[in-house]
Amino acid sequence: MSGIPKRYQELMSRFPEVGNAYEAVGDAVHAAGPLDDRTRALIKIAVSTGARLDGAVRSHVRKARKTGVTYEEMVHVVLLSLPTIGFPAMMSALKAVDEIMQLKDGAEKNQ
């Protein structure tokens, strides 16, 4: 379940100008402030959870993992959403975190 989603690869192949512009906007907003990679990654999980964007949650979990964010940190961010956005949205995001962070060999989720 790791890697760049097929649909995103297809977008980049079919519409490279659009994909490159999208990535440039992302790079610009990342560089626009003082937050570090880990903090931004956790915020993106939170925003995606709140917006109920399951695909985005999954994407940001993969990216967060690369910055060293632990499973426990991701779960805490998702749990913090419960009082604000409700149980179903929180559970959906928690499922996504669990599925992405589950390693194929059964190793610990925070590795």
For residue 37, which of 72, 73, 12, 82 has the smallest C-alpha distance? 73
- Tell me: do 42 and 26 sit in the same domain: no
What is the per-residue pLDDT for 109?
A: 57
What is the per-residue pLDDT for 105?
A: 37
- Tell me: do 49 and 13 sit in the same domain: no
- Tell me: do 71 and 98 sit in the same domain: yes
What is the per-residue pLDDT for 46?
A: 98
Residues 77, 46 contacting (CB under 8 angstroms): yes
- Tell me: do 44 and 29 sit in the same domain: no
pTM of the model as a whole? 0.84
Q: Render each residue's pLDDT in the chain as its tens digit; 111 residues.
A: 447 789 999 999 999 999 999 999 999 999 999 999 999 999 999 999 999 999 999 999 999 999 999 999 999 999 999 999 999 999 999 999 999 998 533 545 554
What is the per-residue pLDDT for 110?
A: 52
Q: What is the CATH number of the domain that holds 105?
A: 1.20.1290.10
- One DSSP character per residue, 8-34 reads HHHHHHH-HHHHHHHHHHHHHHHHTSS
- Tell me: do 41 and 87 sit in the same domain: yes
- Tell me: do 104 and 71 sit in the same domain: yes
Range of the domain at 46: 36-111
